[in-house]
Every structure is written in C-alpha cells, then in structure tokens.
Amino acid sequence: MTFRDLSSLSLENLWRTKLRTSLTVLGVMIGIGALVSMVSFGSGIQHNIAREFRELDLFTTIQVLPSELNLEDPLSMDLDAMREASPLDDEVLELIRALPGVMLAYPEISFPALVKLGDAETKTSIRAVPSELGQRKPFSEISFGRFFESDDETSIVVTERLLDDLGIRLTDGAAPSRRARDDTTRQLTMVASGDVIGRTVTIVTSVLDENVLTRAISRTLMPTGRAPFREETVTLDIVGIQSGSMGFSGLGVGGRALIPSGTAERIPRLSFSSIWDLLDSRDGEQEYDSIHVKVGEMGELEAVGDAIEEMGFGTITLADYLDEMKRTFLLMDALLGAVGTVALFVAGLGIVNTMVTSILERTREIGVMKAIGGSESEVRWIFFIEAAIIGSLGGVLGLGLGWAVTRVANVAANAYIRPYGVAPADFFHMPIWLILGAIGFSVVVSLLAGIYPAGRAARVDPVKALRHD
C-alpha cells in the first residue's frame, strides 16, 4: 500500500467522523492559537524595543557620568565621593574625543526657556546638540525641513508638541495627543508645515543677575526683593520640524526643541539641570552633567566604555541593561510559552482520546483490514497519519486563529495607547521561526499523541476482532 493510499484512508476515516474530527482539530487550533499569540506578544515586545533602541541609536551610545554609578544599589553610592569626583569639563570632552572608536562626543546641555512665536509663547526645555547628530537616528528623522548643517547656525528644530503648545496644529502633521485634543478651550491655528519652516522664534532665557543675587542673600527674608535673574533674548529661524512623538519605550530625542551647540554657547542662560551649577558656576569653568559618546559600531562600545571608566568616570551603556533585559524577556517568553504549551498539551490529550475512541469503534474494521492483507505497520500508519492530519490541520488553523487574535488585540492596544501620544506600534511579532515552530510543534504533539493509539490499532488481534457476535 502506498503512502498515498494510507493517507487517503486516513482522510476518509476522519471525514466519516466529521464532528468528532472537527472538535479535536478545534482543540489543537485553540492550543496553537494560544501559543502563537502568547509567544508573538513576547516576541513583539522584544522586537519593538530592539528596533527602537536601534532607531534611537542606543546600541552605539555611551553616557558618561562624573563618577561610577552603582545601578543595582543606588543607595550605596557615596554622595561625598560623587561630589569630589573629577568634573566633566571641556578638557575631559577632548580626551574622550581622542579615544579610538569615538565618532562623536558632546555634552548634555539643556536649559529652560520661554519660546515666542508670533503672539504665542510657552515655557519649554531646549536641548543643544552638535550638528553632526543630524546624521544619526533619531535626530536624522526630520518630518519637515532639515536638521542644522553647522554648529553655529542661528536656527532651531522644533517638535510638533512644541508647536502644539504654541497653538499651532500642522495640517500635515502626526495625530494630535489626547491632551491636546481634550483641550477644547484653546484656539488652534491650522498651518501647513511649509509655512512654519522659515518663521522666526524668539528665545528668552534667564541668567543669574549677580548684583541682585548678592543683595538677595543679604535680605533673604525680604519678599519685595527683585528676583536675582535677568532676561536675555535671542531670535532663531525654524529650519526643521520633528514629530517628537514618544516612541514605544517612552524614549525620544529629549527636549521639545533642538538648537546647534555652538549657537547655544552664545546664549546666556541658567542651566536648571543641577543646583550645583548655580553654586559652582561662578568659578567660570563649565561643567557638564553628562557627556554623550557615539561609537561607530556596537562592537566598539565595550572598549570605549572601559577606556572612559579608566579615566575615572562612570558610564551607562545599553549593554549594562541588555543582559538584565534578556533575562526578563526569557522569563516572560517562558511564561507565555508555558501557558500556550499547556493548552496544546490538553489538545494532545484530546487527540489521544479521539483516536482511542475511534479505534474501539473500528476494531472489527481493523480486523478486516488485517484479514485482507493489511500489515501491522500499514494499520499503524493509517492511524498515525490520522493523528498527524488532525495536528497539522489544527496547527495551520491555529496559526490563523493566533494571527487573527493578535491583529484584533493590536488594533485594541493601539487604540488604547494613541491618546497618550505614543507612536502606533505592532505589539505582536510573528517571525518565521514562530510560524514554522508552531506548525512543527503541533505536528510533533499530534504524532506523540498518535503513538499510543496507532500502536494499539496495530496490535488488534484479527481473530478476536472478526469473531462473529
């Protein structure tokens, strides 16, 4: 008997007991569907975070801090030692830039400012970055216009969120955030992005007025005293717009507007990132809270990081988190997978049950098949193939079911996150290994489930099976 004969016999048998077959297939389908959607969720989360880390260029980024940080136990850090640590100044910046493998190193500079555009104004945080960053993600992702071409341009790249705060909604921009949408009291002007590029914004910063400060300290209790600040004004041209939407991980470019680092140096300002600045800044030397370092390739990250740590500074790299994250993901995957596997295991028992029932019903038929020349192995194959058909059919349909479930869940999840201004993401990822693995797994489970019934069918004693009633 050929394999084709055996399988058509199996198919006929399954077709004869349509209801029972379809219920068993349904069981496998649900098992595989559960497994696929669970694992695809786990895989989707990892996929999104990995993609975003790539997009944010985090795999080639080192953040340098003034001293060693103990991430696992922040309380154990010696605050005095931290204050004593060598400062991150321009000298250090040059040393880091000279390290082999370092493509770009720039200090973290951001400061509060009042931004005025036309009649509108809003308080925001402005970040200064070197123009080279325009080559790298996520800064290279400009929705309209361009990034800075030099560090000394008097230009600014704004985010849609900043424009929103200024009462401007782009006719061709990304979806508005819920906060913006719910705020119906505000008058929003609809403007095309082309009309925003080229407009001039005025930046108003505060600087410490040392004359006032001295007086203020001597008269702390005098509420009528003038604030120890004065204002500085700079005008900049809008050259580009970034959507500025928060990514999946909540990470983004940071700040609501970007200006070139050279231009930033010429803007007198008060950094509000650290209270130490306020007290230390009078010694003239500029100190940074942190320095961002970009390397060319992920492989160079470790060597550069080690070199910086030898200089006595703390570093934070993605690699520090990656192992921890991998462990977490592995645990999550295992848990999700286990739930699906239990469902599939139950479906496997369903196959065994169906097959055994069918063998009990068909004992006489098996006897007949043996009497007309069927061998044990042929009988075994017929039932084995039946189990395999149930399994693979359930696997393929379950894959479809799992896919459908993830699509529906994805739409629901995106509808849920959209109001928070998070960019739409695919929460589920169905890599080819999952598709093949799910079908393979269902076939393996069904074959395992088929072993006992098929063996039992093969061992049917024809003499007993055929004995007349």
Partner 1 sequence: MGLEQALVVSALKKTYTKGTIDIPVLRGVDMHVAEGEFVSITGRSGSGKSTLLNLIGGLDTATSGSIVVHGRELTGMSRTELAVHRRRTVGMVFQSFNLIQSRTALENITLALAFGGHPRPTRRQRAGELLSSVGLGHRLDHTPGELSGGEAQRVAIARALANAPGILLADEPTGNLDSRTSCEIIELLRQLNRKQGITVIMVTHEEDAARSVSHRVLRLLDGVLLGEASGEVSE
Angle between helices 376-417 and 3-16 (to 10 degrees): 60
Question: H helices then E strands: how many in the chain?
Answer: 16, 13
Closer residue to partner 1, CB minimum distance, 210 or 461 = 461
| Contact flag: residue 4 with partner 1 (CB under 8 A) | yes
Q: How far is the CB of 28 from partner 1 (least distance, A)?
A: 24
Is residue 14 part of the contact set for partner 1 (CB under 8 A)? no
Beta bridge partners of 257: 126, 158
CA distances 417 to 47, 184, 246, 280, 397, Å, are 18, 21, 11, 43, 30
Q: Select 65 or 355, whichever has its Cβ closest to partner 1.
A: 355
Mark 405-444 with x for binding to partner 1 (rule: CB under 8 A) and - for no binding: ----------------------------------------
Q: Is 364 in the site for partner 1 (CB under 8 A)?
A: yes
Q: How far is the CB of 455 from partner 1 (least distance, A)?
A: 14
The single residue among 42, 145, 367, 402 that binds partner 1, judged by CB under 8 A, is 367
Instruction: Compare residues 346 and 463 and give the one whose CB is closer to partner 1.
Output: 463
CB closer to partner 1 out of 161 and 380: 380
Give the nearest distance from C-beta 394 to partner 1 in angstroms. Answer: 24
257 in Cβ contact with 159 (< 8 Å) = yes
Q: Are 462 and 370 in contact (CB under 8 A)?
A: yes
Q: Measured between alpha carbons, how far is residue 64 from residues 293, 335, 461 in Å?
A: 7, 36, 78
- Interaction between residue 18 and partner 1 (CB under 8 A): no
User: From the CB of 13, what's the least distance to partner 1, in Å?
Assistant: 9
| Site for partner 1, residues 372 to 401, rule: CB under 8 A | 372-378
Cβ pair 35, 395 in contact under 8 A = no
Alpha-carbon distance of 292 to 261, in angstroms, equals 13
The gap from C-alpha 101 to its chain's centroid, in whole angstroms, comes to: 27
Say how far apart CA 373 and CA 368 lie, in whole Å: 9
In the bound state with partner 1, the residue whose beta carbon lies nearer, of 304 and 458, is 458
CB of 23 to partner 1, least distance (A): 19
- Pick 81 or 371: Cβ nearer partner 1: 371
**Cβ nearer to partner 1, comparing 407 with 459:** 459
Residue number, 86 or 377, with CB nearest to partner 1: 377
Binding mask 446-465 for partner 1 (x = CB under 8 A): ----------------xx--
Q: Is 200 one of the binding residues for partner 1 (CB under 8 A)?
A: no
Span between the terminal Cα atoms of the chain, in Å: 30
Give CA–CA dist 316/321, Å, rounded.
9
Q: Which of 188, 356, 368, 444 binds partner 1 (CB under 8 A)?
A: 368
Cβ pair 231, 113 in contact under 8 A? no
Tell me the number of residues near partner 1 by CB under 8 A: 25
CA distances from 138 to 56, 135, 152, 318, 324 (A): 5, 9, 21, 16, 24
- Which CB, 125 or 363, lies closer to partner 1? 363
Distance of CA 347 to the CA centre of its chain: 33
List 9, 64, 344, 447, residue binding partner 1 (CB under 8 A): 9
List contacts with partner 1 (CB under 8 A): 1-2, 4-5, 9, 16, 364-365, 367-378, 462-463, 466, 468-469
